[in-house]
């Protein structure tokens, strides 16, 4: 492992403080008052988050190179080249970020359904997504910690790979089922557990009605957002572990992708239904990274699939599916 946790705990701590600081600035300054997030604002924030991720990737390469050149443990390894290892770490970060970003588009479909079902006003959607992101960060940290412990065992790698291949095939061929919150047992459980008012009380998740404390629809929508992220994390975290075995790279690429999810939602919510072929691109990506885990790496002498080639294949599959969605006209019914 290039970045053992005990040696780099301070990096994890510093990165976490940076993320919390950015989120505090986001909610406390830029989105202090509830308002509808327009296209221009969503586009600006999307560019900001992507630019931050790109800047981090290049800075991470410089940081890794400096660390590697001063790490006697790594320098003692036969054939270890600090510069090449740092460049590979950067490419692994960008590849993981791209995969997570693409898989996040599926979240947007679910978010649209949830907000529509609970009739959440547009001006309150950012607040729900903000707290949803906080919960997602916690759940992703747990998933990544567990995954980094399990990935040390070869049989777990095989299980992850087979799971990703099976998931990718399911995405490619299984018919899409509409999300129906009314049929969700968790919704029924929450309604039995908490008294829920059908009315909103500004941005509040709880309100008082006739002397009783009641949950508002914002809280129920937030719970569904959190549940959807847990479901998607089951696919996305193993997919990134197929790209890199370094928990630090998995952690940082995941977090950067999640941070930009809110802006991407407001940017794409109105047109996400037009990405008709994206699911096929995502399905093929999952199959590809699963095959990398269980089979394709055997074709290379060092047992590692070239990360540059991985980035190119994944970019082509995702970009090609999006391009096809706009270039191939949709067949009209009848």
pTM for the whole thing?
0.84
Mean pLDDT of 227-233: 79
Lowest mean pLDDT among 70-79, 102-111, 113-122, 277-286: 102-111
> How far is 183 from 198, CA to CA, in rounded Å?
18
Rounded average pLDDT over 191-195: 75
List the structure tokens of 304. 């590692």
pLDDT surpasses 90 at 90 = yes
302 against 275, higher pLDDT: 275
Q: With 0-12 CB in 10 A as exposed, 13-18 as middle and 19+ as buried, what is 9?
A: exposed
Could you tell me where the beta strands, DSSP code E, fall in the chain?
206-209, 212-215
pLDDT over threshold 60, residue 105: yes
For 24-48, what is each residue's pLDDT tens digit? 877 666 666 666 777 788 888 889 9
Out of 72-76, 148-152, 154-158, 174-178, pick the least confident: 174-178
pLDDT at 27: 65
Helix (H, G, I), strand (E, B) or coil at 246: coil
Comparing 273 with 239, the larger pLDDT belongs to 239
Identify any residues that bridge with 209 across adjacent strands, giving them in sequence order: 212
> Which of the two residues, 2 and 193, has the higher pLDDT score?
2
Give CA–CA dist 156/241, Å, rounded.
11
Minimum mean pLDDT range among 104-108, 251-255, 318-322: 104-108
């Amino acid at each position: 492992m290039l970045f053992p946790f005990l040696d780099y705990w301070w990096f994890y701590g510093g990165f976490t403080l940076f993320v919390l600081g950015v989120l505090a600035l986001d909610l406390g300054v830029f989105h202090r008052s509830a308002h509808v997030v327009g296209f221009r604002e969503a586009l600006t924030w999307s560019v900001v988050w992507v630019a931050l991720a790109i800047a981090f990737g290049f800075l991470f390469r410089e940081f890794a190179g400096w660390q590697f050149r001063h790490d006697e443990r790594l320098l003692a390894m036969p054939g270890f080249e600090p510069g090449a290892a740092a460049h590979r770490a950067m490419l692994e970060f960008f590849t993981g970020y791209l995969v997570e970003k693409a898989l996040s588009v599926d979240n947007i479909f679910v978010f649209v359904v949830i907000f529509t079902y609970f009739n959440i006003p547009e001006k309150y959607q950012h607040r729900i997504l903000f707290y949803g992101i906080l919960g997602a960060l916690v759940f992703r940290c747990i998933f990544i910690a567990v995954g980094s412990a399990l990935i040390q065992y070869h049989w777990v790698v095989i299980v992850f790979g087979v799971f990703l291949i099976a998931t990718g095939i399911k995405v490619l061929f299984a018919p899409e089922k509409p999300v129906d919150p009314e049929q969700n047992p968790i919704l029924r459980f929450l309604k039995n557990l908490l008294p829920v008012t059908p009315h909103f009380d500004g941005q509040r998740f709880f309100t008082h009605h006739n002397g009783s404390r009641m949950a508002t629809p914002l809280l129920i929508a937030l719970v569904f957002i959190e549940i959807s992220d847990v479901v998607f994390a089951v696919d996305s975290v193993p997919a990134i572990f197929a790209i890199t075995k370094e928990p630090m790279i998995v952690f940082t690429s995941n977090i950067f992708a999640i941070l930009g999810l809110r802006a991407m939602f407001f940017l794409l919510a109105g047109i996400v239904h037009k990405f008709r072929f994206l699911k096929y691109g995502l399905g093929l990506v999952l199959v590809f990274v699963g095959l990398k885990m269980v089979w394709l790496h055997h074709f290379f002498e060092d047992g590692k699939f070239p990360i540059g080639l991985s980035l190119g294949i994944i970019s082509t599959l995702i970009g090609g599916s999006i391009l096809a969605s706009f270039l191939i006209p949709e067949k009209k019914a009848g």
